Every structure is written in C-alpha cells, then in structure tokens.
C-alpha cells in the first residue's frame, strides 16, 4: 500500500478502464490482446460508428465484415473469430452479459479460463472492469515493476495475483486504480530501460536505489 499511496499521490485517479459499458470492456479486453489500447479503441470506434457494438450483431455478423471493422487492433482474423465465438457463448449459456456476471465469481472465472483465447489477464480484466468483481489484474508491467522493487511476487500468474490480493484490501475500486497506476508508472518511468531519476517510488525500489 505504500507503493500505491506514492503512485496515487503522484498521478491521482486514472479513470481506467476507458470504456462506456460492461460489454465494451469485454470486447476491449479481447481486442487489446497483443496491442495497445489506442489500436483497440479504433476498432471499437468502428463498431460504434456502424452501430454494431452489440452482442447480438457481433454474434451474427459476416466474419469478413467484422474483420474489416476490427483491423486496427491487429490479429484481426483471430480476434474476429474469438469475438464471435465469445458473444455466441454468452448468449447461448447465459442469455446476456448481465446474467453472466450473476454467476458465482470463482465459477465464472473458471468458465472464462476454459474458453479458447481467454487467458488469466484477459479473464481478470473482464471480471474486474466489466463485472465489478475483485480479481487483481497482473500484466507485464506489474511483473517488471514489483520485481525491480524487490518483492517476491511469485513465478506464475496465479501466485502473483494471490500475492496482491493477500497484501492489499479486497476492494474493486482499489484494484482498478492500482492497476491503472502501475500502467502509468511503467509508461513514464519503469520502462524496459528504466528512467529512475524522478520516479515516485525510486526510494522503495532496488533498481531505483542503484540508479540514484
């Protein structure tokens, strides 16, 4: 929490995730795989402009048409197939996104992880940002920052997620904010080649202390 407090003091509220509805978050979590949010956002904008950001429409859309709309996100053939399969799965198994999130959270996470193309980071992003459920999202930035700081956060995704969930209050808004602050720190200072000079957590960090 000391790291969180320093990051929050430096950056303030990040208003993350940048999406308007739970369904948009869900779609964005798949579109942002292997790319950045700006590219995913372009694909979402294409769906919005054509009034196709709708679970039933995406489920029934011609595959080529969907591919063209989401092309800015990269890997568009693969992602179009995943989006359609996922939308059809939600409609057939739950009836709607809202009903899906009424499922027992641990059971729902297990269901998502069994779905082809959805790994732990994507599943937890969907659960946290779309479902408002307390699952901490671990990404490459989190691994980089906290290993440099010197925490033993574990060696695999589940160990790292458990580490965070055991060491900070179980709170959805805190989880969202912390994840967003980690992303901001990684983009500004804790890059692959770190810029430690003015980093707000350099005094907490083994790498930062070495580079002082």
pTM of the predicted structure, to 2 decimals:
0.91
pLDDT value for 210? 78
The predicted-structure confidence for 184-194, as pLDDT tens digits, reads as follows 999 999 999 99
Query: 18 pLDDT exceeds 70?
Result: no
> For 22-130, which CATH class?
mainly alpha
pLDDT value for 175? 97
**What mean pLDDT comes out for the span 45-71?**
96
Determine the Cα–Cα distance for residues 98 and 100; give it in Å rounded to an integer: 5
CATH 1.10.340.30 spans which residues of the chain?
Answer: 22-130
Architecture of domain 2-14+137-210: Orthogonal Bundle (1.10)
Determine the Cα–Cα distance for residues 83 and 139; give it in Å rounded to an integer: 21
The 8-class DSSP code of residue 94 comes to: T
CATH 1.10.1670.10 spans which residues of the chain?
Answer: 2-14+137-210
DSSP secondary structure string, 95-116? SSHHHHTTS-HHHHHHHHHHST
63: tokens are: 């595959």
Among the residues of the chain, which ranges form H helices? Answer: 2-11, 22-31, 37-49, 55-60, 63-69, 76-93, 97-100, 105-114, 120-125, 140-149, 157-167, 172-188, 206-210
Residue bearing tokens 């060491």: 167
The length of the chain, given as a count of residues = 212
Predicted confidence band at 148 (pLDDT cuts at 50, 70, 90)? very high
The predicted-structure confidence for 129-144, as pLDDT tens digits, reads as follows 999 999 999 999 999 9
pLDDT value for 37? 84
């Amino acid at each position: 929490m000391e790291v969180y407090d320093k990051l929050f003091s430096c950056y303030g509220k990040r208003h993350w995730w940048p999406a308007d509805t739970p369904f948009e978050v869900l779609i964005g979590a798949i579109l942002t795989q292997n790319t950045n949010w700006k590219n995913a956002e372009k694909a979402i904008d294409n769906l919005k402009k054509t009034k196709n950001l709708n679970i039933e429409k995406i489920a029934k859309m011609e595959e080529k048409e969907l591919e063209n709309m989401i092309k800015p996100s990269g890997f568009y053939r693969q992602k179009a197939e995943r989006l359609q399969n996922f939308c059809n799965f939600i409609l057939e198994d739950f009836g709607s996104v809202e009903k899906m999130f009424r499922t027992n959270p641990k059971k729902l996470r297990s269901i998502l992880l069994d779905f082809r193309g959805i790994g732990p980071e994507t599943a937890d992003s969907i659960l946290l940002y779309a479902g408002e459920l307390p699952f901490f999202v671990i990404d490459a930035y989190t691994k980089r920052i906290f290993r440099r700081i010197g925490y033993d956060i574990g060696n695999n995704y589940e160990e790292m997620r458990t580490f965070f969930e055991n060491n900070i209050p179980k709170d959805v808004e805190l989880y969202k904010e912390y994840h967003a602050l980690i992303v901001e720190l990684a983009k500004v200072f804790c890059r692959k080649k770190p810029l430690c000079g003015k980093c707000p957590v350099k005094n907490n960090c083994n790498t930062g202390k070495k580079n002082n």
